[in-house]
Each structure stands twice: as C-alpha cells, then as structure tokens.
A and B are shown apart, each in its own frame.
Chain A
Amino acid sequence: MNLSLPEELTGKTGLRTEEMILNVGPQHPSTHGVFRLVAKIDGETIKEAIPVMGYLHRGTEKLAENLTYTQIIPYTDRLDYLASMTNNYVFCHAVETMMGLEIPDRAEYLRVIVMELQRIASHFVWWGTYLLDIGAIGPFLYAFRDRETIIELFAELSGARLTYNYMRIGGVKWDAPPGWIDKVSEFVQYMKKELDNYHRLVSGNEIFVNRLTGVGTYSREMALDYSLSGVMLRCTGEKWDLRKDEPYSIYDRFDFDVPTSTDGDCMARYHLRLEEIVQSLRIVEQAVAQFPKDGEIMGKVPRVIRPPAGETFVRIEAPRGELGVYIASQGKDKPWRMKLRRPSFVNLQILPDLLRGENISNMIAILGSIDIVVGEVDA
C-alpha cells in the first residue's frame, strides 16, 4: 500500500502541513506592550501576517483639542514613553515655530543634551530587550544598568524618571542643578569606554551574528515606498537624518556623522543603533563643552499661549525615526487640530511584507528590529 501523499500537500519536507491562524499577543512579552499579530502559518512558514493595533489607543490627538498648549505637554510624554524628551521637544518646537519665539541659548543646549541622552537611553532599552527577545538574557541587565544612570540624571533635572514634562513653550522648566553638567560629561566618558564591552559581549558572538545576518532584508526602494525613517531607512543606504539634513534647534553647531549601511537586514539595524549611541555621545560631549555659563532658560513668552491662526508642521529625528507634529490653530488657546506623525506607526507598516514567507522563528527577530513603542503606534 502506498501511503505517500501528493507533493502539493507535503511540500519539500515530505510532511503534511495545514494552515492555521496563530495569534501573537496582544499580551506577549516580545511585542513590548499590547500589540497583536495575527499570523496565518503553514507549518513553520508565515503565509500572511496582519498587525492589529489600537489596544493602547488613548486618543491623544482628540484630547489635545480640549487642552491648552501647556496642558498637552504631559500628554506627549506618554506617546513614546521611552523617549519622552524628544516628544516634549517636537510639540514645543511646533508651537514655538507658529509663534516665532526666540529660545535662549542655555535652554537650547539643555534641550539638546537631554534629547541626545534620551536617544542613548532609548537605544539601550532596544538593545537589551531585542537581545532578550532572541534569547540572550544577560545584555538586558547591562543595558538597564547604564540606562539607570541616564534616568537618574533626568530625575535630578526634572523630578521624574520617565514622564518628565520637562520642556515648556519657550524654554525648559528647570535649569541644570549644580554639578549636573559635570555628571553628564562623566557619564559620556564612562559610556565611550563601556560601549566596547557591549560589542565584546554580543556583537562578536557567532551565534548572534548567524542568527541575524540576512534576516528581514528589504531594499532602499521598498523603504522609501513605505516612507520608513530613522534606522529603518538608513540601514538600506539612504543617508537621511533630519539633524543633518534639516537642522532644527542648534544641531548645526555640532560635528557628528550619520551612520548608514547597505545591507538592510536585522544585523545592519543592530549595528546602526549602536553606532548612533556613539554619535549621540559625541553630540552630548560637544554640547557640554559649549554649554553657556549663564543665561535664561525661558524666552519671552506671553502669559497665555495663543499661536496665530494658521497651521504648521515640524519634524525632528526621534530615536525611532521622523517624528512630526501638525498643528492647526484658530488663534485660540487650544489647538483646533493636532496630528502626530509617529515613526513607530509608520515603520510598522512594512511588517506584513517582511514576514510573508519567513520562518516563524524569525518573526520576533524581525518585529524586534523595527523597534516599535506601542504607546506611539496607538497614540
């Protein structure tokens, strides 16, 4: 009796498989929040993957229409909760652009220092959790140890560890406490050396390199079609960084490079994020050296903030990519409409394309390399 099945049922392996639906999340440790991925799998191959989002939707854009401009700032903290400082900045920057405000130098330097430290902290979380996702537990502890130093610096400066509410329209809330700038430069010197240990611990590991090389590859055209930004775009060779190409704040005063790679795979994204930490350390180092001895931290701002009627769109380079804010004002103390261009949300759009035809074991490796924060995806 011949028991062998026809090849269209068994595929190459000789084993009969059938399609099934697998729900990953919404409560799955590797989705870093409440994100659900519905995967149609055939054996171990993903046929189709549908991201389902909205579990963390709080309606920030709609809420903002009933809040004054100052009241919106604490809400921006909670979008990308790993990079609150950049969110604070982009919103204040939008309102300041509308009102044409002058920001004092000292405030600008404080803003750049905290934003770059925030980028480093955010990439540490990515580094630790990404390696946790793909099976290495140790690096997470090292990443969070060093991130703790940054968080403590922020707590000393703003009084909070995550939701800082530090920036205000026209400047910043707090001046640097005595000795804070020295602590920052101490951290920069420490981190410059410590980063080599990160590479020693992980980057050279053969298991790790083989696990990620060539996984989740896409082309430059595809990245541009999906309007990816940040590391997701630069890993395909497109050199685009708003800090260089459209300098905002005082980024034109610093000397730094924009690291790119042409591989477009998870390994390239890993190396680019670590390289971005180096560049951010360079910026912080220069900012600390140029930090003005004294000066105001708040510009001349009217008591009630009422941007003139009209609309504006500003964008900055957040740790995850291009973060944009659109504000339409009717001259009142509340925005008529606020719209956020969230990089996590836009970068996530490529996921179904990347997962189609992949082995299921690569699913988490690819999802992790996109570096999403669900608070920002859902807003």
Chain B
Amino acid sequence: MLGFAKGLGFTLKKLTEKSVTHKYPDVPYPFPPRFRGIQHFSPEKCIVCNQCARICPTECIQLTGKSHPDPEKKGKIIDTYDINFEICILCDLCTEVCPTEAIVMTNNFELSTYSRDELFKNLKWLDDNNTNVREEN
C-alpha cells in the first residue's frame, strides 16, 4: 500500500497551498488584451466595402449602405449594420479583413440575455458598445 499512501501524502501536502480558483463574478476576471468579445462598430469609419459580411463563416453580419449625403463626395456611407449574435462564433475574421478598422473586437464577454431577440445587435447598439475596445486588430 506504499503507492496509495504516497498519493495521500501528496494530497495532504497540497491542503495548505494557496487556492488557484478565481472569485468570478464577485471579482472581475481579467482577459488578455487580444481577447475576442463582442464587436464595436464605428459607423464613421465604415466605407461599406462588404468584406466583413462576405468573410463571415456563419453569415451573421448584414449591412446596407446609402450614397453620401454630401453630393460632392463619392462613395457610400453605412445605413444599417446588424450582427445576429445568436450565430456569431467570434472567429475574428470580420475584424481581420476590415480595411479601416470600423469593426473591432472588445473585451466585453458577459453577453447572456433573457430573450433571443436581444441578441440581435443593430448599428446603435454596436456603436454604443465602445468600452474595452481592443487595440490591436
């Protein structure tokens, strides 16, 4: 029974060690800077190139553009921008292809809601979600 006793001894020795668990959610859990949480979208940066919608593997991004209100300027500006967060897999590809960093990741990950409808994030929600924005994208 020597092996058995050795194992018990090891367990006893570990009793006095510091705990390795975190006190989440009482104490916020810090994630590293590259962490992928729900996206932040800046409408003023968007050039309506559609690349994010095209690269998305689950097709959860839908957007429409409109022509620039100033007739002098060429190009389009964003009209609607929706992410169906029910099916977003946070793969990071939309932020990777965005040429102007209009869509970026944030560190916000507490995303549970009472209703599925709330998971449908529109332009305003994504624009207001401007805390803990990831620096490197």
Which A residues contact B (CB, under 8 angstroms)? 67-68, 70-72, 74-75, 138, 145, 148, 152, 155-160, 163, 165, 173-174, 177, 197, 200-207, 209
Contacts and interface: CB of A to CB of B under 8 A. Distances in A.
A13 to B, nearest CB: 30
Interface residues of B, number: 25
A190 B44 CA distance: 49
Given A156-B34, A157-B34, A159-B35, A71 B57 contact: yes
A67 B35 contact: no
B82 interface: no
A232 to B, nearest CB: 26
Nearest to A71: B57
Contact of B3 (A68, A71, A158, A204): A204
A159 B6 contact: no
A72 B57 CA distance: 7
Nearest to A160: B36
B16 to A, nearest CB: 15
Contact of A206 (B3, B32, B36): B3
Nearest to A196: B10
Interface string B108-120: 0000000000000
A365 to B, nearest CB: 19
A67 B10 CA distance: 51
Given A158-B34, A201-B7, A204-B6, 18 more contacts: A67-B57, A138-B11, A155-B32, A156-B34, A157-B34, A160-B90, A163-B89, A163-B90, A165-B92, A165-B93, A177-B32, A177-B34, A200-B7, A201-B10, A202-B7, A205-B4, A206-B3, A209-B3
Given A197-B10, A204-B3, A159 B96 contact: no
B27 interface: no
Contact of B91 (A163, A205, A209): A163
Nearest to A149: B20
A165 B91 contact: yes
A148 to B, nearest CB: 8
Contacts of A156: 32, 34
Nearest to A168: B96
Contacts of A158: 34
B55 interface: yes
Main secondary structure of the interface of A (DSSP, over half): helix
Nearest to B34: A159
Contacts of A67: 57
Nearest to A155: B32
A261 B3 CA distance: 22
Contacts of A204: 2-4, 6-7
Closest 9 interchain pairs by CB? A204-B3, A159-B34, A74-B91, A156-B32, A71-B57, A159-B36, A165-B91, A201-B7, A205-B3
A128 B53 CA distance: 41
Contacts of A74: 57, 89, 91, 93
A163 B90 CA distance: 9
6 contacts: A67-B57, A155-B34, A155-B35, A157-B34, A177-B32, A204-B4
Contacts of B57: 67, 71-72, 74-75
A75 B56 CA distance: 12
Contacts of A138: 11
A163 B91 CA distance: 8
B125 interface: no
A201 B11 contact: yes
A12 to B, nearest CB: 31
B6 A155 contact: no
B31 A155 contact: yes
A145 B20 contact: yes
Contacts of A157: 34
Contact of B93 (A70, A160, A163): A70
B105 interface: yes
A202 B3 CA distance: 8
B88 to A, nearest CB: 11
Contacts of A148: 20
Contacts of B105: 159
A202 to B, nearest CB: 7
Contacts of A165: 91-93
Nearest to B3: A204
A158 B92 CA distance: 10
